[in-house]
Amino acid sequence: MTIDFEPRSFLIGLFQQAVGATHPSRAVPRNLPKPPKGRTVVVGAGKAAAAMAKAVEDLWVEPLSGLVITRYGHGTQCSHIEVVEAGHPVPDEKGQAAAGRILSLVSGLSADDMVLCLISGGGSSLLAVPAPGITLEDKQTVTRALLKSGAPISEINCVRKHLSAIKGGRLALAAAPAEVVSLIISDVPGDDPATVASGPTVADPTTSAEAKAILKKYNIAVPDAVMRWLDDPASETPKPGHPALARVTNRIAANATDALLAAASAAKAENIDAVILGDAIEGEARIVAKEHAQKALACLMRGRPAKAPCVLLSGGETTVTVKGNGRGGRNCEYLLALALALDRAPGISAIACDTDGIDGTENNAGAFIDTGTLERARDEGADPDAALENNDAYTFFERVGDLITTGPTRTNVNDFRVILITESRLRIGGAGSGIRSY
């Protein structure tokens, strides 16, 4: 049987499956610890923090209290846990004040008490307590420069940890001798808990010397106070084996793999082969796009690594080295570069979206492309090459009407990309064998 298929709706449906599989309402319940003998104090930060707090409240039978910080617009109403919205990706005064209150909440607890820490991507900016001698303005300056540099998140967060009084394991130090259990929704390639939100409850293997080397590597000029602090031995973070971290447990509650497997299963249910290219893909967005275009064309022309109809799925976190003055997050930049690399190849469409619903600092989750994208752009007077050169992918997709806008999803496992390769009419029932890695 032949069924007409609308690629955009199908691809958005896969994105919705991915987001649903990693939502706190599913991720938190299966990872909750047993209540302690004493008090339970809930703290946390990230784009999913408010939804995580609500999931805890819905299931926790003992008394609890606490405070979590999330990005503006990502809040959820809670009864016992206070939710504060603050600035992201550049920290602001509200984040600084709330993070300071979190340090106060976890201080002075006993060994019978437990700190339940709810961590997700975005927490690095939201936990904005500068180290001694550093101002919020200093941190804002360094953060803006790092975000434009093209540095991977692991390097950015190495610097952030060493400029913070709460990240890089320092939150767990403040909570000792209480038990600390962190539930983590990972948005970083490789799911290293020390990197998610700059690891506030995780011993930090990186050093102040490495942080200085990263700043030098990307030619980032920093305020004098920042360099003075990094030269001070007190800037060093607690390392693995630190005795005060002995009662800390860090659990990955959801990650990009969960999202990709959910989308792959949804594709398989429609008898569409699903190839997972990787869940931890990093690199410049436009370079990754060219590599993925070659894989898509290989499917179209040679049936490898899968025959049409099929999808190529990937996650992780690409980067954009900003040289222009346009608008656009890394997912839109990836798609614009992908459209140019495919050059109107028939039967190929794609979406790339951030699972938190926000691509960079814009109001869209991502965008959509298909065989007609470049033609529609030229009809609208939009120059795709110029837009890519100016890092202006948002404006490009806005003009051609192919932005995808979802609003905040209240989860965050980072980028979700899917390329759909079809025949001229998608034939349901004759596709490949299921989910495979490549």
pLDDT in tens, 395-416: 999 999 999 999 999 999 999 9
CA 252 to each of CA 118, 178, 322: distance values in angstroms, whole numbers, following the listed order:
11, 20, 31
- 361 pLDDT band, cuts 50/70/90, is confident
pLDDT higher than threshold 90 for residue 437: no
For the entire predicted model, the pTM comes to 0.91
With tokens 């979206």, the residue in question is 353
CA dihedral angle for residue 333, residue 335, residue 340, residue 341, rounded to 10 degrees = 110
Average pLDDT over residues 123-132: 96
Strand partners, 145: none
- Whether the predicted pLDDT of 425 surpasses 90: no
> Given the structure tokens 């955009």, which residue do they identify?
8
**β-bridge mates for residue 120, sequence order:** 185
Residues contacting 84, CB < 8 A, separation 6+: 67, 68, 69, 70, 94, 95, 98
The distance between the two most distant Cα atoms of the chain, rounded to a whole number of Å, is: 70
| Residues 216-255: tens digit of each pLDDT | 999 999 999 999 999 999 999 999 999 999 999 999 999 9
| Residue ranges of domains in the chain, CATH in brackets | 7-19+256-428 (3.40.1480.10), 24-254 (3.40.50.10180)
pLDDT at 4 over 70: no
- Which residues share a beta bridge with 348? 421
What length does the chain have? Answer: 438
pLDDT tops 80 at residue 141: yes
Assigned token pair, 137: 């303005």
Strand arrangement of the beta sheet that strand 81-86 belongs to: 81-86, 65-71, 40-45, 114-120, 179-185, 248-254
Q: Would strands 366-369 and 403-404 be described as parallel, antiparallel, or unpaired?
A: antiparallel
Query: Mean pLDDT for the chain?
Result: 93
Cβ partners under 8 Å of residue 378, min gap 6: none
Spatial separation of the C-alpha atoms in residues 421 and 312, rounded to whole Å = 8
Query: Is the distance from CB of 368 to CB of 419 less than 8 angstroms?
Result: no
Task: Fill in the amino acid letter for 72.
Answer: Y
CB-based contact 415:355 (threshold 8 Å): yes
Q: In the chain, how many H helices and how many E strands? A: 16, 13
Strand ranges, E, within 3-64: 40-45
Q: Tens digits of per-residue pLDDT, 32-60?
A: 999 999 999 999 999 999 999 999 999 99
**Range 285-320 burial, b when 16+ CB lie within 10 A, else e:** bbebbeebbebbbebbeeeebbbbbbbbbbbbbbbb
The per-residue pLDDT for range 193-214, each reduced to its tens digit, is 999 999 999 999 999 999 999 9
Query: Given pLDDT bands bounded at 50, 70 and 90, which one contains residue 423?
Result: low
Q: What pLDDT shows up at residue 160? A: 96
